[in-house]
Structure 1
Amino acid sequence: MIDPTDWICSKESTYSNLSPEEKKAISEFFLIWSYFESQVLNCSANRTSFFNLATNLQNSGKISEIGLNELVTYFKERYLSGGSFNDRYAALELEKSRNPPEVDSMLLEDSTDQITKLVGCLFVVYRFRNNLFHGPKWRYKLSEQESNMTKACQFMIKIIDNA
């Protein structure tokens, strides 16, 4: 029987060079995303399901329980340099998700409401998912994804627990 991890390591140095912690973070992200999409997005990740989830969390008073402001701060530090979008922002490939305006609002506008912030964060996490599932992260640096995957997993778990 072929061991999938050994096989991919023999085919792709991008993966074989990752630390065990990086590999674990990526694997956990795949697992948690699948469960998250099933449990809180009705197996359909899109603007409507993101907005409905955000509205439900806001209306239930639980939006403050999911670590939203901490994730927004992390994304601002990661995707902005001197108040402008950087190369990491471009690597999200947001155009493949129709350039959701909520992401730019979440990153650039301090007065953005909680629902818009949450939808913006969900779109960034969704781009992590798409870029991993569809391959762009293999072209870029998988080695720079551990913190993204870990923070995204923690965020999704908090949402599931509060939805």
Structure 2
Amino acid sequence: MLKLFQYNWQVRDDWFKWCEDIPEEELLKERVGGVGSILYTLFHIIDVEYSWILELKGELPPEEPPFDSYASLSKVKEFSRQCRREVEPFVTAWNNEMEYQILSETDSAGNVVLFKHGEVMRHVIAHEIHHVGQLSVWSRVLGKKPVTANLIRRGLFDK
């Protein structure tokens, strides 16, 4: 589990680096086929990871902050650093006994929904990978080479 979170964090940092060569108006431009702009997509990835993991920790996540307060590359990068500082200890401490612990939520219709912690952790991983695919398509639209999605050669399994 930890290796896939580390992979996502590396890829996210690579996307931040990629964004440095893109004019801010392009980063904020509304795009088709995703949740919004390039920067909002990165912000959304971070917020979803942060919110779910806070819930798994038994903490009430704050309401999603308004994106307008984070609508620059430097602010989204700082948001990522802050959230990661809070979630990384939980991810690092993950063990098999946590897999089947239950998270109870109430959906918008008032129904109680139960999730296993392992299911939520994998959802968070897959969620980021999904949105990174969208970023890759948009990078091609801009005529830029996307960040590599390869897990291999990232040094994650070096001792």
TM-score range, shorter chain: 0.3 to 0.5
TM-score normalised according to structure 2 size:
0.38
RCO greater where, 1 or 2, for CA within 8 Å and sep 6 or more? 1
Higher helix residue share: 1
